[in-house]
Structure 1
Amino acid sequence: MSTCFFIGHRDAPETLRPLLAEAVERHITQYGVTEFAVGHYGHFDAMAAGVVREKSRGQL
């Protein structure tokens, strides 16, 4: 089991979303990550949580 932590700025631009999606996919396929930890403050954290949630539901 490997864990990836997302830590970012509260004012992160929405343009980061596709990069986060690529990073989540890469960490799962290349690094064997099975768990993601995301903070609960600011736009980056919400965006990262959304990407992980979408990936877990097969929406990405």
Structure 2
Amino acid sequence: MKNSKQHLTDAFAQLQEAQINLKHALDSAEKLNNKQNIGNTLSLVEEAVSAAASSVAYYQDTNE
């Protein structure tokens, strides 16, 4: 069974994967409207990646 830090690091990895996939989607989108929508989503995911990175970095284990 995973602990909260393991779940957090899993979520962080999934967000990073989403960021990579969105960058690929943005690069391959042809219509301007699609590029804008993907770009907006990418910006939000980038914010989430940053927040998750901070959460991982400052996570306090039980023995701390």
TM-score, normalization: structure 1?
Answer: 0.35
Q: Which has the higher helix share?
A: 2
